[in-house]
Structure formats: structure tokens, C-alpha cells
A and B are shown apart, each in its own frame.
Chain A
Amino acid sequence: MRLAGLRISKLRKSFGTVDVLKGIDLEIRDGEFVSFLGPSGCGKSTLLRCIAGLEDLTEGVIHLDGREITDLPSAKRDIAMVFQNYALYPHMNVRKNMAFGLSLNGMPAAEIDARVRDAAETLRITELLDRKPRALSGGQRQRVAIGRAIVRKPKLFLLDEPLSNLDASLRVTMRAELSALHDRLGVTMIYVTHDQVEAMTLSNRVVVLDKGRVAQFGRPLELFHRPANLFVAGFIGSPQMNFLPAKIEEQTADSITISLNGTTLTIPTLGHAPVDPARPVTLGIRPDRLQLAEDGQLSGTIRLAERLGTENHLHIDLSTGDPVVVITDGTHPARARDQVRLRISPADTHVFDADGRALPRKLDPATEALISEPQGPADPA
């Protein structure tokens, strides 16, 4: 059976003695929009360049639509790439920038012309066709770079931080356009970014990379509500999730009771393998889920109150010394040096074992339904 989409197996990549990618396995469905998300230096670009054929793999195999492309030259892989700094040929006008690769591969001029015109219309850059890149704004250059990819009619689009050189408002516009473009073309896109907002809003699924490994591969809301480990839990969501050290008191097949700061919490799980009770666990709770309440289980002092208008970010030092951030309504009067109490509801918490792996979290039915909505093409959910 022909397997549509991109399949990466056991991919490793080292530069000299530095291992950058340490065993990547991914299956990306045909027509999906997938982001590679992770902090700077985690290997996103390297992975993308391996797929593009711009880097040789140290180990591993890549298939595209059932065909092995591991050792094929870039040009034969049926891919197109958009670079972070656009990489437009500065001495060629927009038309030539888009046509250059095609004409050198012997495509008839009429066909090239039609493709360039189509792409230009799609991207609304028709009136720019005779300009040189230096006479274009950042957003226009970005469109041309995308246009140069579109005219190749590739099976797979690779985009390396395409929006990171644009200013904030333009980034929002281009984000929406990229999303529309993906819908229109229906082609598989892989999008590298370090910006979680871009990844969460654009993607059908997100690959979170941590130091050359896949930390989690899932739908955006899945990453948010059911992070697989401490890394993903801490990386997705802003401000960051709060982490508190805790001890296991008791566990059943589908719940775990932990103690922290002298209080105990019984947290339901989806059924988990027994965790070693002798080792400490970490309790995670998002800042918007911690509530200021007279009868809260934790006490602390506000160190800093940041008022952002819609909401306040309260930086609180707990009586144990652990810092947490709490989001309250923007009109809440809390201010620095106030003594406060905080309430945790067990259903809002995440539990991570001593190795940082999350215990499968039981969600309320509404959230569960939300995160299992089908996302993009061929999603079996």
C-alpha cells in the first residue's frame, strides 16, 4: 500500500562530535500542517534541512509518499523550502526569482508564465512582478519567497521561521494568510517556529522538540491540556505552568494522592502504571487555575504584581519558598507584600513522576471533546 505523507524513521544527525538530532521518528499525514516547535538550538532547522536534503543524515530513513528520499538530491524530492531570511536573489526581479529554477529545468516558457501568474495572484503580488527584492517591504518579500515555493507545485512545503523577521502586526496577518494558503493548496506543510502562538494557531499537529528529541507530537490543545512531560508542560502556555515538589501518599489504579505544604490532594488519572512512592513527584498547575481564596490550601506573599489591564500576573512566594505565578482578573486589588492564600482544585493539576513523565490526566468531558476534535486531513479522530 502506498503510504501518503512523510515518514521519518530513526533519524540521527551529528555535526562532528555534536549530536544534534538523537533519533527522530515521525509520521506526518498527507495534507497536514505540522509545526516543529522548540527553543532556539533544539534542532528544528536541522531536522527541516535533513528533510529538504540540505544536510546528509548520519543515520535514519525518510519516505515521502511511499518513496524513499533519504539519499535523493534536494531537487528530486518534490519539496519546496522557504527560508527565514527569504533568500531571494537580489539581482533578479520578482518574476525571475520565481521562474529561475523552473526555466533551468527546461519547463516551457508558457507553463512557467502561467504558474508565476497563478502564484502571484494567489499571493496578491501581481503588481510587484517587475520589482527587485530591495524595492519590496518585508511582508512582500515573504510573499515572493512563498510564491517561489508555490510555483514548484511541491508535495511538501518546508518553512523555516518564515515570519520571524516581520514585525508583530504583520506576523499576525501573514499567519492568517498562511493558514488560508494551506487550506487552498491542501499540500503538506512543515513549519519551523520557536513561537508557540504560531505553532498553536496554524498547525493541525505540533512536534515539540527538546535537545534533538521529540518531546511530544500532538494536536495543539493536546499539548496544552495533556502535556506528556515537564518540558512540554513548561514550554507550552504563557506564563509558564507552576511546578511544585510533592510526595506520593497513596495511589490507586486511577487516582493518586499527594501531599504538598502539609495538605493532601487526590488527583484522578486515566489509569496509570504504579509510580515509585519513594521518589518525589512534581505537581503542575497553570497560573490561571490557581485561585486566590480565603480558604485556599497554600499560603504565600505577593512579591510582584504585574497589571496588564485584562489580567494581573501575581508573582507569589509560597511559605515553603517555592515561587508561583497566579493570573487574576485585571481589576483584582491584590498588591505586592499582601499575604494571600491559594486554592488548587485537583482536576486542574498535572502530575509528573520523578523522571518528568506526565501521569495520564483525566479531563472534564467538555475539554476532552475539544481536544479530540478532528484536526486537518485524514485525522482518524
Chain B
Amino acid sequence: MTDARRISSRRRPGIAPWLFISPWILGFFLFTLGPMVFSLIMSLHDWPVVGERKFIWFDNYSTMLTQDPRFWESLGITVKFALIFVPLNIALSFLLAVLLNVKVHGTALFRTAFYLPSIISGVALVMIWKWIYSKDYGLLNYGLSLLGVDGPNWLGDPHWSILAIIIASLWGLGGTMLILLAGLQSIPKELYEAARVSGVPAWAQTVYITIPMLSPMLLFTFITSLISAFQQLTIALLLTKGGPLNSTYFFAMYIYDNAFKFHDMGYAAAMSWVMFLIILTLSMLVLKYSAAWVHYEGEAKGGGNG
């Protein structure tokens, strides 16, 4: 009797479970895995927007790596951008989060204010920055002139353009800040009180308590900042169009131009895959070496009471 019941309950589950998860499955295949496979196939072709497509094995990749100085230039600019943007983004977000974590009147207002740029459309933001950076009518140079400094041509001078883009990009640190702020608020306040009672100075509380406790969030924001740095496109495209003298010609912009200006979809797809592999490798390296400094909360087995 019991055996029979067990067998009947073990019968094949049928189609219902699949139907329940089908929205995700469909979405994943149609919008994630599908396009990825498609772009991989594309990258192995000479794939003009109109005209004959030709399977050319890895020609796109070898051209890129051996015969295309622009590829290396744009990659170099992107790396330079990431090297400055990622640490700055995290450091500033962290500082802001620490400031906004102080319980005084009006912090809610400031939290909103700092998050605001993250919800404004990128295009609107860029228009504002264009005005701020404008050589003769810009807010920034006006401010500098009050201090007696003759401001540079921010967007027109290849020495300053990348800095201008970094600063504008940092305007979107609201999201990062919010994650770190949430992390700060989840640190039990007793840890600081225990430290206070034993005479641990404030700087040491930050270094030895806050940062280790925040390390999972710092790791997360590090990786997401890295990814967004490599994907940087909108701001450069709208603010400088890659100029002057290609000083802000980012990797992603080169992909964009290959696809929509030079109509070479195959080459653009191949570049996208290179970008994907770079990001993947970097993220994996970061994750691998993070074990040494990231502290994960959570009970080990057998912990707890007793």
C-alpha cells in the first residue's frame, strides 16, 4: 500500500512545472542566450548590413589584434578611463555613504539629492555637463574665473577631455553609494560601541571594522563599476563624440561605429566578444583574489546556540 503510493507520487511530473518556469526560460533563450550565440556566429563572418555574408573563421579577431591600431588605441583609452574611474567611483561613493549614514536632520534630503542624477536620463545629464564644460559660457570656467584661473577648453583639449568624461561619469555614483549605504546600515552598531568602550579611535573603527564589514558590497561595486567603465559609451558619444583627436574614443564607441557607421556587423560582434572576455577575465581575477580581503557574513555549519 505505502509502496504503491510512493510509486504514484514519484510519477513523471508532466508539463506543468515547465509551463510555470517558461517565462524565464523563453526570456533567457530569446533575449540572452540567443543573441549571444547569434553574435558569436556573426563574429565569425564578414557580415555587412547589406550584401553577401561570408564565413571567414577567426579573420575578424586576427585583424583586430594584429592589423588594427585603432582597436588598441580605443582599448587603451578605455583601460585608462577604468583605472581612474573605478577607484574614484568607489572611494567617493564610500565617503558619501559614510557622510550620509550619520544620523542628523536632513540626511534623507541629501540621500535623495545624491541619488537624483542616477534617475535622470543620461542624455539630459550630458546636456547639463555640456553646458558646465563649455569653454566660454560654462559654469565651471566661470567658477574658475572667479578664482582668477583661466579654465581650459574642457571638451576641446585632448589633455582634459578624458578627465571631463570621468567627472561627468562620477555624477552617476548614486547607485553605488546607495549600495554602500545599505551595507553601512547593516553593520551592527554594537561593534562600534564595543570599539568605543575599548578606546579604538574613529579612524581605526573605519579601517578595521567598517571596511572589512563592507567588503562584500565593496567587491560588488568594484565589479559593477569595472563593467560599467568598460561599457562607457553614452556620455562620451554625446559629450565629445570621441574627440578631440580621438582622445575619448572609447572601445565601446569603436564597436558602435563599426556596427552602425562602417556597417561591419561581424567585426563589431567580434569586438564585443573581446570586450566580454576582458570583462569576464577581470571579474574572475577580482573574485579569485577577493577571498583574501572580503569577509562574508553567515553562519558556518554547526554554529549558533549550544
Residues of A within 8 A of B (CB): 52-54, 73-76, 79-81, 83, 85, 87, 89-91, 100-102, 104-105, 132, 134-139, 148, 152, 165-167, 170
Closest CB-CB distance, B199 to chain A, in whole Å? 3
B211 CB to closest chain A CB, in angstroms? 10
Residue among A101, A136, A138 facing the most chain B CB atoms (10 A cut-off)? A101
**In the complex, residue of chain A having the shortest beta-carbon distance to the beta carbon of B195:** A101
Residues of B within 8 A of A170 (CB): 305-306
Give complex CA distance A89, B195 in Å.
9
Q: Which of B7-15, B34-42, B112-120, B296-304 contacts A (4 or more CB under 8 A)?
A: B296-304
Instruction: Determine whether B257 belongs to the interface, using a CB cutoff of 8 Å to chain A.
Output: no
Q: Which residues of A are found within 8 Å of B70, using beta-carbon distances? A: none
With a CB–CB cut-off of 8 A, which chain B residues contact A76?
199
Cα–Cα, bound, A76→B198 (Å):
9
> What's the least CB distance linking B24 to chain A, in Å?
33
List of 5 A-B pairs having minimum Cβ-Cβ separation, nearest first: A101-B198, A75-B199, A87-B190, A91-B295, A138-B305
Residues of chain A with a CB closer than 8 A to B54's CB: none
Q: Which residues of B contact A52 (CB under 8 A)?
A: 193, 197
8 Å CB interface, B176-233 against A: 188, 190-191, 193-201, 204, 208-209, 212-213, 215
Can you list 28 A-B contacts (CB < 8 A)? A74-B197, A75-B197, A75-B198, A75-B199, A76-B199, A79-B197, A80-B197, A90-B297, A91-B215, A101-B198, A102-B198, A104-B199, A104-B201, A104-B204, A105-B198, A132-B300, A134-B297, A134-B299, A135-B300, A135-B303, A137-B304, A137-B306, A138-B304, A138-B306, A139-B306, A148-B194, A165-B305, A167-B305
> Is there an interface contact between A87 and B198, defined as CB atoms closer than 8 Å?
no
Residues on B lying within 8 angstroms of A by beta carbon are 188, 190-191, 193-201, 204, 208-209, 212-213, 215, 295, 297-300, 302-306
How distant is B54 from chain A, measured CB to nearest CB, in Å?
A: 57
CB contact under 8 A between A54 and B196, given known A134-B300, A138-B306: yes
- Chain A nearest CB: distance from B6 CB in Å? 37
B-side contacts of A137, CB under 8 Å: 302-306
* Residues from chain B with Cβ under 8 Å of A100 in the complex: 195, 198, 200, 208
**B200 touches which one: A79, A104, A135, A167 (CB < 8 A)?**
A104
Chain B: minimal CB distance from A44 (Å): 16
In the complex formed, the residue of B with least CB distance to A158 is B197
B303 touches A166 (CB 8 A): no
- Minimum CB–CB distance for A35 against chain B, Å: 20
- The answer to whether A101 and B304 have CB atoms under 8 Å apart is no
Closest chain-A Cβ to B197's Cβ sits at a distance in Å of: 5
Q: Are B303 and A83 in contact (CB under 8 A)?
A: no
In Å, the complex CA distance between A104 and B193 comes to 15
The smallest C-beta distance from B290 to any residue of chain A, in angstroms, reads: 13
